[in-house]
Amino acid sequence: MVGDDRVRVEDDMSYRYGRSWHGVLRRPIQEITEQQARARFTDGPSFSVSKVADPAGGVVPDYTLLIDPDGMYVGAEFYDAFGSRVKRYHFDEDAGRPGSLFLREVVVTVYPDGQDRWLSLRGSTAHTSFLFQPDGRARSYAAVRGRPAAKVEEFTGVDVSAHWVPIITFGDWDRFGEHREPDLPG
C-alpha cells in the first residue's frame, strides 16, 4: 500500500479503483479502496480498476477495466499518450460456456493527425467496431467523421476460438489488460 488503502502497488505498478477513469484529471472518478472494490466485485455495483505507473496520479493508465459484479462483464479500455481512449474490448458471459467470458466486441478509435492533448470520443475522426458471435458470425461497422454513411459488413465462418477466456477473478486484472488482437474479419 502507498499512502492509503485506495492504491495497491505490485511490481512498480499501482491499481486504483473507482467508478471509471477521468481522462482529464487522470485519476479514478469516485475513487474507492481495494476493500470496497472487493465488496463490489461480489455484491455490486460495478467498479473500475486502472493500472498506473505512478500511484500519486497524473499519468495515463496502462489500461482501465470496467467490471460488473461477479465478473460477468469486463470492459477493457486502452489509451494513447494523451489519455484519449483508442481501444476497447467488451467481454461478457455467454450461456453456452459457464465459467467463461466471450470477447464480444472490439472498438478502435482514431484521432486527428497532430493531436497534442486529450480528446474525448467526440474529438475522434473515425472508429471501427467489430461485433462477434460465438457461432462465428461477425459484423464490422466503420464510421468516418464527415462521411454521410458508415460502412457495415457481415461475415460468417470467423474463428472465434481465442475469444473465450476463463471468467475474471478479483485481482486477475493484467490478464484482461493485455492487448488482444483477435483475427478480425475483412
pLDDT digits (tens, 9 = 90+) for 62-115: 999 999 999 999 999 999 999 999 999 999 998 778 899 999 999 999 999 999
Q: Distance between CA atoms of 15 and 57, rounded to whole angstroms?
A: 11
> Does 10 score more than 80 pLDDT?
no
User: How many other CB atoms are there within 10 angstroms of residue 161's CB atom?
Assistant: 10
Question: What is the phi-psi region of residue 58: left when phi exceeds 0, alpha when psi lies from -120 to 50, beta otherwise?
Answer: left
36 or 24, higher pLDDT: 36
Which is nearest to 20 in space by CA: 94, 105, 71, 85?
85
**Burial of residue 17, with CB atoms counted within 10 A of its CB: 0-12 exposed, 13-18 middle, 19 or more buried:** buried
DSSP string, 63-85: EEEEE-GGGSEEEEEEE-TTS-E
Residue with cell 500511484: 55
pLDDT at 5: 52
pLDDT digits (tens, 9 = 90+) for 109-161: 999 999 999 988 888 999 999 999 999 999 999 999 988 888 999 999 999 99
pLDDT at 9: 52
| φ/ψ of residue 43, rounded to 5 | -110, -10
Which is nearest to 17 in space by CA: 87, 165, 39?
39
Q: Distance between CA atoms of 52 and 9, rounded to whole angstroms?
A: 9
